[in-house]
Amino acid sequence: MREELTRLERVFLGMIARAHSLAQLEQTNRHIFGRRGQLTLALRSLRDCPERERPALGKLGNRIKESLQHAIAQRREELREVSQGQRLEFEQLDVTMPGIRPVSGRLHPLRELEAESVHWLRLQGFLPARVGPLPDRLGELSGRRYGSRLVCSPEWGGWGHQEGMPTPPVDPACGHLLEAVATGEQWTVGQLKGWLETWGRQFLGYVSLRCVPGSVTWARPSLHLLGPFRGGWLAVASAGLLEQGACLAVSLERAAAVRYNLDPGVFQSLDWRFVAQF
């Protein structure tokens, strides 16, 4: 029995040394120390040996068991180091290279233009309010107020077209209006013109802008601010005098069209190629 235990030790040490992966080593471990492992069965068979040989064989079996367990633990650490070295070799990281900046979203062009215009209005002393259609609710407002709404028709002004100017293309779809009302104040047409041009230069850039007489039915007199757009002139904002104050209306789609040189209908598009940019 002593020779059998010594032979098993040599065989198992060779199997442990030949294990080339952690999975193979774990399989060898089960083959040796599992419930039906060869060493386990060999140690159980010691009870069938003569009684006078059992102490010596038991000490030998325990020494072999500890030796194999130590060899398995040592081989496991070696395989882990080899595996880590291979992973580092194939997963090299150059710490001197710049990192990848995470992509963050940005405001939609309409919301961006609206936020900038609202900030400008606040600096002019305007406060938010539910403006609604201007001709219907002016009596409920006091002081300087602004608000926004969605319109469905171009009756607020549309294209500004004067004799001698190029004929503009078909009126694009109307959309969102940003409106401001100042009641209880006396305004002049010159102030309205300066109001419109100041806003236009700040948010549309230093492009050629024109103020022309407007056709707004609820304010007399009125002005349109025109911006150059693909060979024509696009009315991007309107302003008019009221009995006791003045009002301003900005078409965000048209203003964005002049600002970014894009068709106004694009800003209401659901095309994913456009929407994914924001």
Confidence of residue 119 (pLDDT cuts 50, 70, 90): very high
Q: Compute, in degrees rounded to 10, the torsion defined by CA atoms 115, 120, 122, 126.
A: -110
Here the tokens at position 185 are: 């104040």
Is 195 within 8 Å of 240 (Cβ atoms)? Answer: no
Angle, in degrees to the nearest 10, between helices 2-18 and 54-90: 0
Distance CA 272, CA 225 (A): 32
278 vs 17, which has greater pLDDT?
17
Is 149 within 8 Å of 133 (Cβ atoms)? Answer: yes
What percentage of the chain has pLDDT greater than the value 90? 3
- The number of residues in the chain equals 278
pLDDT in tens, 28-66: 888 888 877 777 777 777 777 777 777 787 787 788 888
pLDDT in tens, 204-225: 876 688 888 877 776 788 888 8
Burial class of residue 190 (count of CB atoms within 10 Å of its CB; 0-12, 13-18, 19+)? exposed
Here the tokens at position 177 are: 């209006």
Q: Compute, in degrees rounded to 10, the torsion defined by CA atoms 219, 110, 268, 130.
A: -50
Q: What is the CATH T-level fold of the domain 109-275, as seen in this structure?
A: BirA Bifunctional Protein; domain 2 (3.30.930)
Question: DSSP state, 139?
Answer: G
What is the mean predicted confidence (pLDDT) over 85-110? 76
Distance CA 8, CA 179 (A): 93
